[in-house]
Amino acid sequence: MPISPARIRAYTLTTALGHGCRPHRQALSEMRPGLRLWTPEEAPVQSWAGVVDGLDAVRLPARLAEFDCRNNRLAELALGGDGFAEQVEAARERRGPSRIGLFLGTSTSGIRHTEQCYRRHFEEKTPGLGDDLRFAYTHAYVSLADYCRRRLGLSGPAVVISTACSSGAKTFAAAQRALSAGLCDAAVVGGVDTLCATTLLGFHALGLLSPTPCTPWGQGRTGISIGEGAAFALLERDGDADDDGLSLLGFGESTDAYHIASPHPQGDGAVLAMRAALDSAGLSADAIDYINLHGTGTPANDLSEDRAVARVFGEAAIAGATKGWTGHTLGASGAVEAVISLICLREGLLPGTLNTQRFDPELKTRLIRNSEARPIARVLSNAFGFAGNNCALVFGRTSCA
């Protein structure tokens, strides 16, 4: 059954490509990457990664200093992009702080801060882990929502979602349900995730880190390039749309639980999510102008997603994958790529597929090689997490739905 579209008032993102929407649009248009070689002190494993510069210099407001950790610094930096915090303040004045919900995704939260405290303890022989390790404020998942809630002056429902790589996308679905149920009149959604040794060493142990910048859909692809990033959007259930006239038109979720890490080989869960997204938007598959693929660059994930897309859209779908620019930003990736989808709609931009020189001939979905300008009205964005936690989002202009 079609849902009532949620209006998108504002959106922003910060990744290795820069701070705010403008540098992302420029990098996507110019096929300019954000990945670089990265070897953290605490984990002597070299990889290509999307690192956000300048986070060590970010300072949280004095009243929120107890939340200081890399993840909350990235949230603070991102909230200041594209006038987003000011847009939320305006919504708070219109709606009241108790009528604005907060739905955020993360997978690592403040783990890097805790890693550093342990490292200091064992290397410098400090007694205990230090006063700067405050679990509820610098490590736990709730830290992100609690920080953003206080920072933005909100008192409505607040939720943190952690379903690995689909976390940030699922916040849009959760917010739309809350808006439809009347639990809130507006919602801040998004995701924030930062690089840490646990993630780097985990993917290294799984043999999933690519020794070169990741090559989604590429022949001989070898794995992912990890990254960090943050993205936020402000949704409202009624009122005028923003100047771009963009809305969340539909969403679909599934949990196939095929395997703890590997996707279903035929993409069964992904198919369910994409079909549910189209149904909730009241659209047929041929109404989608562009598919923003999850496109991690691993052999199994790309093959599974390709089979799923072919089952839903056939072999003529126009698609691309953007992790070659930002890296896989993990729990933030679904939100980051949702905002990239909004930029593509606003700018009339189809991103190419960075780094991939030769596409895998066994994959059927046709990917755009080089970025091009082309008006588009509707985008479907995929995000798939461990254990088959899948989410697909449809964005577009309400007048075109």
Q: What is the mean pLDDT of the chain?
A: 93
Is residue 374 scored above 90 in pLDDT?
yes
Specify the pLDDT at position 232: 98
In terms of residue numbers, what domain contains 263? 6-398
Q: Which two tokens stand for residue 46?
A: 């070299």
pLDDT one-digit tens code per residue, 2-35:
889 999 999 999 999 999 999 999 999 999 999 9
Specify the pLDDT at position 126: 84
Mean pLDDT value of segment 238-261: 80
Task: Answer yes or no: are the C-beta atoms of 290 and 350 closer than 8 Å.
Answer: yes
The alpha carbons of the chain give a radius of gyration, in whole angstroms, of 20
Q: How many domains in the chain?
A: 1
Domain membership flag for residue 38: yes
Q: Which two tokens stand for residue 249?
A: 């038109």
24 in active site: no
| Residue at token pair 């342990």 | 118
Task: Answer yes or no: are the C-beta atoms of 116 and 42 closer than 8 Å.
Answer: yes
Specify the pLDDT at position 131: 85
pLDDT one-digit tens code per residue, 154-166:
999 999 999 999 9
Is residue 238 scored above 90 in pLDDT?
no
Is residue 324 scored above 70 in pLDDT?
yes
Which parts of 80-141 fold into alpha helices (H)?
A: 84-95, 111-124
Which comes out higher in pLDDT, residue 304 or 261?
304
Phi, psi of 389, deg, nearest 5: -85, 100
> Active-site residue among 69, 165, 344, 391?
165
Specify the pLDDT at position 243: 55
Is residue 103 scored above 90 in pLDDT?
yes
Specify the pLDDT at position 124: 85
**Residues with Cβ within 8 Å of residue 123, at least 6 apart in sequence:** none
Mean pLDDT value of segment 204-232: 95
Q: Which two tokens stand for residue 330?
A: 């993990």
Spatial separation of the C-alpha atoms in residues 81 and 144, rounded to whole Å: 17
Domain membership flag for residue 179: yes
- Among 115-129, 273-287, 369-383, the range scoring the smallest mean pLDDT is 115-129
Domain membership flag for residue 364: yes
| Residue at token pair 């305006």 | 90
Q: How confident is the model at residue 239 (pLDDT cuts 50, 70, 90)?
A: low
> Active-site residue among 19, 139, 264, 328?
328
- Residue 48 CB-density burial (10 A; 0-12 exposed, 13-18 middle, 19+ buried): buried
| The one-letter amino acid at 350 | L
Domain membership flag for residue 1: no
Spatial separation of the C-alpha atoms in residues 151 and 274, rounded to whole Å: 35
pLDDT one-digit tens code per residue, 257-288:
877 777 888 889 999 999 999 999 999 999 99
> Active-site residue among 184, 294, 344, 391?
294
Specify the pLDDT at position 399: 59
| The one-letter amino acid at 46 | Q
Specify the pLDDT at position 128: 84
Q: How confident is the model at residue 117 (pLDDT cuts 50, 70, 90)?
A: confident
In three-state secondary structure terms, 159 is strand
Is residue 365 scored above 60 in pLDDT?
yes
Spatial separation of the C-alpha atoms in residues 249 and 186, rounded to whole Å: 16
Q: How confident is the model at residue 143 (pLDDT cuts 50, 70, 90)?
A: very high
196 in active site: no
In three-state secondary structure terms, 83 is helix
**Selection from 296, 332, 156, 132 nearest residue 235 by Cα:** 156
Mean pLDDT value of segment 348-363: 96
Domain membership flag for residue 268: yes
Task: Answer yes or no: are the C-beta atoms of 139 and 66 closer than 8 Å.
Answer: no
- Residue 260 CB-density burial (10 A; 0-12 exposed, 13-18 middle, 19+ buried): exposed
Which pTM does this prediction carry? 0.95
The DSSP 8-state label assigned to residue 209 in this structure reads B
Domain membership flag for residue 122: yes
95: domain CATH number? 3.40.47.10
328 in active site: yes
Spatial separation of the C-alpha atoms in residues 204 and 194, rounded to whole Å: 17
Domain membership flag for residue 330: yes
Mean pLDDT value of segment 374-382: 97
